[in-house]
Amino acid sequence: ALVAIALLALAVRLVVIAGTGGGFDLDVYYFFGDVVADGGNPYDVPEGPGVDRNDAAEPPLEFVLFAALLKLHDSPDTLRVALALVEVGLIATVGLLFPRPRPWRAAFAVFIAFNPLVLGVWTGLSEDKGIVLLLVALVVLGVETGRPFLAWIATTVLASLKWLGGFFVVPLGLWSLRTMTRRRLAAAVGVFVLAMAAGNALWFPDNLLAFEIRQDRLAIDPPIHASISRIPSELGLYAPIEAKLLGGASVLAVYAAFALGRLGVVEAIVLVVLVTSMFLPDLAANRILMLALPFLFIVAMDARRWTVLWIVTGVTAAAFEVALHGGGALESVFGDYGTLKHVLWMN
């Protein structure tokens, strides 16, 4: 049944890909992947219309990954199909390997496979956020099955591709002290450090541009897209320093709660994923979905809650499509893209 769901999920995604053109992020992935595939430096491209050097905000290894895919076939559709396969891989990983009850695994697989919000925001626009969710799922799988090396490998890959994995090394390390020998833990940490050093040595020091871009984005004022920071901004209570202070303080609070035994390691990882991004002034629906879906790993779900989740995400998907493409009378309900109504519906 899981194989059938995964295959049908791929078929649905191919139909969505055929009927949509992707979004700006796809243009970014293709542009910089093509630069690397041609032997160029993605952090040393000129400024200009469309995608330019100010969009090179990703770690080097993600651009290398996209370049490798484009070497197989130089087309944005190559990246779109690859990202769809990642989501299918997520369905198979959780559905077949997770030590959870069969009904939960089936419900999760069906949700990721066919949910209109996932299909509209991630597949329709071709986002790389499914990579994050797959790797977080592998970390959770490693923890729940008592395979810490799997958790460390997934964390290392995630940190190398998206930096995000680096933020939950602290709770993972503390958990590993109880589940691994010191020698094995030292080996896992050593591999993590070497992988991070090797990945970030590519195009150094030009690749520091990615950090500069992200720092500049933290200074955006007023907030844009669907950032929850729009609300205090509308009230005249927002300053860019808030994103840094709230994010940093929240990460430290999660670390402290885990160290004091108030959180399990999976709960700590899910919360770290949330708080590292939730206060960003340029938060859009694609990342909001990335922050929300890991909660499926820690929230007790039953038939009623799955039903509520389908209803909520169905309405949110409609709000997203109206904001993106217009919807006549529904625009007065859901609001245009970037308006306060859009912010509230997305969050």
Chain segment 288-332, per-residue pLDDT in tens = 999 999 999 999 999 999 999 999 999 999 999 999 998 888 999
What is the pLDDT at residue 327?
Answer: 83
Cis preceding-peptide flag for 232 (omega within 30 of 0): no
- If you average pLDDT over every residue of the chain, what do you get? 96
Interatomic CA distance for residues 157 and 192, integer angstroms: 9
CA proximity to 66, closest of 25, 37, 45, 89: 37
CA distances from 154 to 58, 117, 160, 330 (A): 18, 26, 10, 42
Joined tokens for residue 224: 């844009």
Which residues, at least 6 apart from 290, have a Cβ–Cβ distance to it below 8 Å?
A: 129, 132, 133, 273, 277
Q: How confident is the model at residue 1 (pLDDT cuts 50, 70, 90)?
A: very high
pLDDT at 188 over 90: yes
* Contact call for residues 141 and 33 (beta carbons, < 8 A): no
What is the pLDDT at residue 240?
Answer: 93
pLDDT at 180 over 90: yes
**Any idea which residue has 């950090």 for tokens?**
211
Joined tokens for residue 15: 């139909």
Instruction: Determine the average pLDDT of the residues in 131-159.
Output: 97
Q: What's the pTM?
A: 0.96
What is the pLDDT at residue 291?
Answer: 97
What is the pLDDT at residue 329?
Answer: 87
CA distances from 55 to 6, 164, 289, 307 (A): 33, 18, 21, 39
CA distances from 288 to 153, 182, 276, 340 (A): 25, 37, 12, 15
* Contact call for residues 289 and 347 (beta carbons, < 8 A): no
Instruction: Determine the average pLDDT of the residues in 145-153.
Output: 96
pLDDT at 229 over 90: yes
Q: Classify residue 329 as exposed, middle or buried by CB count within 10 Å of its CB (0-12, 13-18, 19+).
A: exposed
Instruction: Determine the average pLDDT of the residues in 125-154.
Output: 97
Look at 16-20, 47-51, 190-194, 255-259 and tell me which has the smallest mean pLDDT.
47-51
Instruction: Determine the average pLDDT of the residues in 212-234.
Output: 95
CA proximity to 325, closest of 337, 315, 338, 316: 337
What is the pLDDT at residue 210?
Answer: 97
Q: How confident is the model at residue 212 (pLDDT cuts 50, 70, 90)?
A: very high
Interatomic CA distance for residues 274 and 266, integer angstroms: 13
Instruction: Determine the average pLDDT of the residues in 106-122.
Output: 98
